Amino acid sequence: MSYYDDEQNVLEYIEVAEGFDGRELVEKLGAYLPEGATVLELGMGPGVDLELLSRKYRATG
């Protein structure tokens, strides 16, 4: 993960991730997981997705 050791890379990532809306991807999970299922969130972006997942699932991240 040395990519994130470089400050410029971090700033570029923040710029790209800012405003990203992961709701569509989280909704696609509904076809595969029942509401209330346990989900482990591992590095799905800037951290917003854990909150989105927690609305329908028992999410840990």
Q: Is residue 15 in some structural domain?
A: no
pLDDT of residue 7: 93
Confidence of residue 1 (pLDDT cuts 50, 70, 90): low
Q: What is the C-alpha separation between 20 and 49, in angstroms, rounded?
A: 10
Q: What is the pLDDT of residues 7-49, one digit of tens each?
A: 999 899 888 888 788 889 889 999 999 999 999 998 767 678 8
In a domain, 10, yes or no: no
Tell me which residue range forms the domain holding 45: 21-61
Q: Where are the alpha helices (DSSP H) in 1-61?
A: 7-17, 23-29, 48-54
The SS3 of residue 3 is: helix
For residue 31, is it within any domain? yes
Give the count of domains, the chain: 1
